[in-house]
């Protein structure tokens, strides 16, 4: 089967992170972060971003939330129609002000890594981040101890890991109930004369089937409602209407490009 253009490109690495290092006072005691004009510029080259299950509702107001993968499926917010082209980051590297910023983005430059020897999670920082360096405004450490900023980052990453595990359980539930179907996102461009052009496939992905959901027993639907899963399912399903919004943004950008280059 042909690989979807939306398949995540994260093999062996974590998206965004080029040089993650376990953060220690010995190696990072003289480092910190500084304010930069465009803190989300690093997202511009990523058209899909992982989201957790509790983000389906807010993310779904801005993006289609889809599932990608075979044995293990990952929830993704779709921010572009082509690999490496994020339609929600402008030419200056700024997020659209009306768009939701996923936690996966907000935790950067920090991330947890597994220490297999000690069987624990270690907080790491991407040393290659543009806003990390010795000319900092906010230090990582104060008197050899984590600063308030670093402690807050650690708590955020702790919370993110909790949500990630919750998301894994949610995806396992969808698989157990066999609620997912393969879908295609398609786009029909317009010819110069206004007629419909040749349809183009944008993506292959997985989504909850409304038909399969409707076939669940009343008892199971009540259970899903009570544990909160049903609300997340509907948030995902409603988000799929965002494909039209995404296409409209892409068309608007394409129309503006010739004018900008004129």
Residue 147 belongs to what domain range?
20-247
DSSP 255: H
188-191-193 Cα angle (round to 5)? 140
pLDDT of 259 reads 52
DSSP 216: S
In the chain, the number of structural domains is: 1
Examine residue 175 and state whether it is found in any structural domain, yes or no. Answer: yes
Examine residue 11 and state whether it is found in any structural domain, yes or no. Answer: no
Examine residue 89 and state whether it is found in any structural domain, yes or no. Answer: yes
- What whole-number distance in Å separates Cα of residue 112 and Cα of residue 160? 9
Examine residue 58 and state whether it is found in any structural domain, yes or no. Answer: yes
Examine residue 9 and state whether it is found in any structural domain, yes or no. Answer: no
Examine residue 24 and state whether it is found in any structural domain, yes or no. Answer: yes
**With pLDDT > 90 as the criterion, what percentage of the chain qualifies?**
66
- What whole-number distance in Å separates Cα of residue 245 and Cα of residue 249? 6
Residue-wise pLDDT for 54-113, tens only, equals 999 999 999 999 999 988 899 999 999 988 899 999 888 889 999 999 999 999 999 998
pLDDT of 5 reads 39
Residue-wise pLDDT for 47-60, tens only, equals 999 999 999 999 99
Beta bridge partners of 67: 75, 206
Examine residue 215 and state whether it is found in any structural domain, yes or no. Answer: yes
Residue-wise pLDDT for 190-228, tens only, equals 777 767 777 888 889 999 999 999 999 999 999 999 999
Taking Cα atoms as reference points, which of 79, 64, 68 lies closest to residue 10?
A: 68
> Who has greater pLDDT, 118 or 130?
130
- What whole-number distance in Å separates Cα of residue 262 and Cα of residue 253? 14
Examine residue 102 and state whether it is found in any structural domain, yes or no. Answer: yes
Considering the entire predicted model, what is its pTM?
0.86
Q: What is the mean pLDDT of residues 228-252?
A: 94
């Amino acid at each position: 089967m042909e690989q979807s253009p939306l398949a995540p490109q994260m093999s062996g690495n974590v998206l965004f992170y080029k040089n993650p290092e376990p953060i220690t006072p010995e190696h990072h005691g003289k480092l910190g972060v500084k304010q930069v004009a465009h803190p989300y510029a690093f997202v511009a080259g990523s058209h899909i971003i992982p989201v957790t299950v509790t983000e389906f509702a807010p993310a779904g107001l801005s993006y289609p939330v889809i599932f990608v993968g075979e044995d293990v499926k990952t929830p993704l917010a779709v921010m572009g129609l082509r690999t490496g082209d994020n339609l929600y980051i402008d030419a200056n590297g700024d997020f659209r002000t009306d768009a939701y910023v996923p936690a996966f983005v907000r935790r950067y430059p920090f991330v947890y890594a597994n220490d297999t020897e000690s069987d624990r999670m270690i907080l790491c920082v991407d040393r290659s981040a543009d806003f990390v360096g010795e000319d900092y405004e906010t230090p990582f450490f104060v008197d050899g101890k984590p600063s308030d900023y670093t402690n807050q980052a650690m708590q955020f990453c702790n919370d993110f890991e909790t949500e990630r595990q919750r998301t894994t359980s949610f995806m396992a539930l969808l698989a157990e109930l066999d609620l997912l179907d393969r879908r295609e996102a398609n786009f029909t461009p317009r010819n110069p004369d206004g007629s419909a052009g040749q349809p183009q496939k944008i993506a292959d992905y997985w989504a909850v089937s409304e038909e399969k959901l409707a076939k669940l027993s009343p008892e199971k639907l009540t259970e899903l409602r009570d544990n909160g899963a049903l609300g997340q399912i509907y948030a995902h399903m409603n988000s799929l209407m965002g494909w039209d919004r995404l296409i409209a943004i892409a068309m608007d950008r394409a129309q503006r490009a010739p004018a900008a280059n004129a």
